[in-house]
Amino acid sequence: MRCSGPACWLLLLVVGVCCVHRARPRNVLLILADDGGFESGAYNNSAITTPHLDALARRSLVFRNAFTSVSSCSPSRASLLTGLPQHQNGMYGLHQDVHHFNSFDRVQSLPLLLGRAGVLTGIIGKKHVGPETVYPFDFAYTEENGSVLQVGRNITRIKLLVRKFLQTRDNRPFFLYVAFHDPHRCGHSQPQYGAFCEKFGNGESGMGQIPDWTPQTYNPKDVQVPYFVPDTPAARADLAAQYTTISRMDQGIGLVLQELRGAGVLNDTLVIFTSDNGIPFPSGRTNLYWPGTAEPMLVSSPEHPKRWGQISRPPSWIGSLSPTPAMPSLAQRLSSSLGGPSSRRWRRSLFGPRFLAARATMRSPCPTPCAPCTTRTSTLCTTSTSRCPFPLTRTSTSRQPSRTS
């Protein structure tokens, strides 16, 4: 079987990290936020308390221009786990069996390839991709065999499942995928817990209690309203609720890392944190504007402390993680299996193919992300390119993109 494209690079990353020193297995922990954005101290939001993400960022290479190919849950997750955009992996919409929204049966996913390579694979939290034959995990606690609230938001339950996974491992290297359900909205499905399930497990009457969670509430007056969100009382109230669930996820990340530390494997584990799509606000999730496709990404390698705290500014795709510098010999041995044309000429652009034949193109001529903007339009930041490096163009049926203002 030939392996081509970004999926092979992701496989090389994991196998290379795991196998540099056979006596000490190298592992990978992938942490995913659900509709997470840049609301953390690591990305200069001082209104929210995220000590564990901030600490992870200090031990990480911080990506400023990471993107997903599509701003929707299942297609983005499928791209992350296959290294293929949705039109190649088959996950065109939200995973469900009624209309067969699954990846193509022939797709070779990361857990499938890693399992064949002798790596122990595990998933805890929200999976939302299929079929099972394409995305098999040796250890799985997801919405498919339990409550997504329990495996995705109950950080005590998540902590105990991580501990169980680590206790059942043998001498094999592992790939553990912890997919939080926070900070996804839940007002449409469990309105009793609040707009973002910020009340779930907070100890109030009827809400249950998550033992390891110390709930943090935020004053809507103090939140940082993103430039693409209307500054209204309703938006501020939603952001305050979102902050509470982000803080819960942050505490959960701290618990997960503590379990790895207690098991003595944290210093042998590559830790990656990112999100599936933008936040669920206007111009965010499900939109191909910058707020919908730009993602936070932290990559912490214990073998490269010189990169800790540094910033990576070139555009990056979350489905195409590159091999680490520790694996040149492994990459050379497998180079005959890596087919496809060079992507060098596309490195300064990111394309977001989308259902209904729409496409967005983002170019990054400047080194920093589009952050606080002094001028607003209905959806886009319009500051000068020296401060806002993402002039956005989009096409629908025409091949010639037209610049929006």
What number of other Cβ atoms are within 10 A of residue 398's Cβ? 8
What pLDDT band is residue 91 in, cutting at 50, 70 and 90? Answer: confident
Residue 141 CA to residue 152 CA, distance in Å, equals 10
pLDDT of res. 14: 52
Over range 368-373, report the average pLDDT: 38
* Cα→Cα distances 241→40, 72, 186, 290, 346, Å: 14, 21, 11, 23, 39
What pLDDT band is residue 16 in, cutting at 50, 70 and 90? Answer: low
Helix 51-58 crosses helix 233-262 at what angle (to 10 degrees)? 60
Which two tokens mark 251?
A: 């505490």
Q: Judge whether residue 263 has pLDDT over 80.
A: yes
**65 burial class (0-12, 13-18, 19+ CB within 10 angstroms)?**
buried
Listed residue (284, 271, 286, 276) closest to 80, CA to CA = 276
Q: Are strands 139-142 and 120-125 parallel, antiparallel or unpaired?
A: parallel
Q: Of these residues, 18, 73, 381, 388, which one is catalytic?
A: 73
Contact 71, 86 (CB under 8 A): no
pLDDT digits (tens, 9 = 90+) for 185-233: 998 888 999 999 999 999 999 999 999 999 999 999 999 999 999 999 9
Q: What is the CATH number of domain 3-342?
A: 3.40.720.10
- Of 155-169, 183-197, 288-302, 377-391, give the range with the top mean pLDDT: 155-169
Which residues sit opposite 4 in a β-bridge?
339
Residue 245 CA to residue 181 CA, distance in Å, equals 9
Q: Global pTM? A: 0.79
Listed residue (83, 45, 43) closest to 63, CA to CA = 43
Q: Is 186 a catalytic residue?
A: no
pLDDT digits (tens, 9 = 90+) for 323-363: 332 233 233 333 433 444 554 554 444 444 444 334 444 54
Q: Judge whether residue 166 has pLDDT over 90.
A: yes
Q: Where are the domains of the chain?
A: 3-342
Quote the DSSP letter at residue 323: P
For the chain, the residue count is: 405
Handedness of CA 297, 302, 305, 307 (dihedral sign): negative
